[in-house]
Amino acid sequence: MAGFEIIYGTNPVLEVMRAGKRRCHEVLVASGRRGRELSAIEEAASGSGVTLRRVARDEVAKLANTEKHQGVAARCDPFPYSTLEAIIDEALSDPRKGFIVVLDGVTDPQNLGSIARTAHLMGVHGIFLPRDNAASVNPTVVKSSAGATEHLPISQVTNVAQTLSYIKDRGFWVFGAAGETGESLYMHDFKGDNVAIVLGAEGGGMRRLVKERCDQLLSIPMEGKIGSYNVSVAGALFMGEVARQRWLLSLAKTMP
């Protein structure tokens, strides 16, 4: 069907219905599939008024165009991107300060999905990614994020460098992940600031203009012999450190 996107996998289909960010039109479940996860899907479908059909497993595979569907697939509206301004406004309304992630050319859908999953769990307000020459939110990304994309605002931007200038004008400090700098991630104090983390493309890192727009470049200390962390792992370490410091600040405010 034209205009539909096929989401597959237990958690992605469930989170599409739970989040309500986009309309889910129909859920297909492989005959014989049982268990607590399926019960949750049936309950969500019933509560959302979504038609649920039991079909042969090969019909689910045909619809999903993959065997990694876990016996569940759904016809949904395309992923609805947020606007740059809406994400920034929402982030700045948080008394804990804003926390966003900017991707400069991440092309692997698995990496994008992993970054989105971590971002959602770490309290990131939104992700910005390039409109061109980069991964977009597709069913593979939704699957690898375990459905986190449905709860996380994501915006496509035309020009990353210009976006960083706008973000800085709105009161964010921009930190780029760059292995070549001597400044350690773990030596920086992120507490009390609106923070934007920039992650570069797999292999190539950040482009020159993007790097120049960062307020500071930070690296992750390494002791091994290989070149660098995978971008999704580097992103998890950066986001984890910012989230850890924010949590410590919140904890200190509650202490007598």
86-109 residue pLDDT tens: 999 999 999 999 999 999 999 999
63 shares its domain with 91: no
16 shares its domain with 126: no
For the full predicted model, state whether its pTM sits above 0.85.
yes
209 shares its domain with 119: yes
Where does residue 27 rank: exposed (0-12), middle (13-18), buried (19+ CB within 10 A)? buried
The alpha carbon of 115 is separated from its chain's Cα centroid by a whole number of angstroms, namely: 5
Last residue of a domain, one of 30, 48, 76: 76
pLDDT band at 1 (very low <50, low <70, confident <90, very high): very low
88 shares its domain with 70: no
Q: What is the CA radius of gyration of the chain?
A: 20
Last residue of a domain, one of 45, 76, 107: 76
Cα–Cα distance, 229 to 232 (Å, whole number): 8
64 shares its domain with 116: no
Q: What is the mean pLDDT of residues 196-212?
A: 94
Where does residue 168 rank: exposed (0-12), middle (13-18), buried (19+ CB within 10 A)? middle
Range of the domain at 28: 5-76
42 shares its domain with 167: no
143 shares its domain with 208: yes
Last residue of a domain, one of 76, 97, 115: 76
Secondary structure (3-state) at 80: coil
Element containing residue 251 per DSSP (H, E):
helix 231-254
